[in-house]
């Protein structure tokens, strides 16, 4: 399990970076610190979880590493769900009660369109982080060896 978690670090880094950007932008536009932190967590945590899920699929050889089509299909589902969670958290922070966005199916459909761009960015950033992180684990992590 530890080795699988180590394998997921680059993917989790992508989600954490997205959360930091979201929280930073919220703070930049003048939102209170608590709102900015919850905005970052509301986006970052789901993307960390879904990104790690994608890495688990790659580690278990269910999808090939670095190939766009499987990543696009995965993020077609995962990215809108992550943004839905973010919207629910944002509603909760602003109004005091969690709630769905207006017209949730349209919300999800539009985010599904955006997911292709995120899939490209995810693969690119994941590969950039992984190429510096994974070499340190080559001797000890069986998920990094070729079958």
- At 121-138, the pLDDT tens digits run 999 999 899 888 888 888
Model confidence over 34-64: pLDDT tens digits? 989 999 999 999 999 999 999 999 999 999 9
CA separation for the pair 65, 61 (Å, rounded): 8
- pTM attached to this predicted model: 0.90
Q: Are the C-beta atoms of residues 74 and 119 closer than 8 Å to each other? A: yes
Model confidence over 69-124: pLDDT tens digits? 999 999 999 999 999 999 999 899 889 999 999 999 999 999 999 999 999 999 99
Average pLDDT, the chain: 92
Residue 2 pLDDT > 90, yes or no? no
Distances (CA, A) of 128 to 91, 102, 121, 141: 34, 37, 11, 19
Using alpha carbons only, what angle is made at residue 134 by residues 64 and 141, rounded to the nearest 5 degrees? 80
**Token pair for 8:** 């997921």
């Amino acid at each position: 399990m530890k080795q699988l978690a180590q394998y997921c670090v680059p993917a989790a880094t992508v989600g954490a970076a997205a959360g930091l950007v979201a929280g930073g932008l919220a703070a930049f536009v003048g939102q209170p610190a608590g709102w900015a932190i919850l905005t970052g967590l509301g986006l970052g945590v789901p993307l960390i979880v879904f990104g790690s899920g994608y890495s688990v699929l790659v580690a278990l050889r269910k999808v090939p590493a670095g190939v766009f089509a499987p990543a696009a299909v995965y993020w077609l589902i995962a990215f809108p769900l992550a943004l839905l969670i973010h919207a629910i958290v944002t509603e909760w922070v602003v109004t005091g009660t969690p709630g769905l966005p207006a017209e949730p199916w349209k919300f999800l459909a539009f985010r599904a369109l955006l997911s292709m761009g995120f899939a490209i960015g995810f693969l690119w950033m994941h590969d950039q982080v992984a190429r510096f992180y994974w070499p340190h684990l080559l001797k000890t992590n069986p998920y990094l060896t070729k079958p």
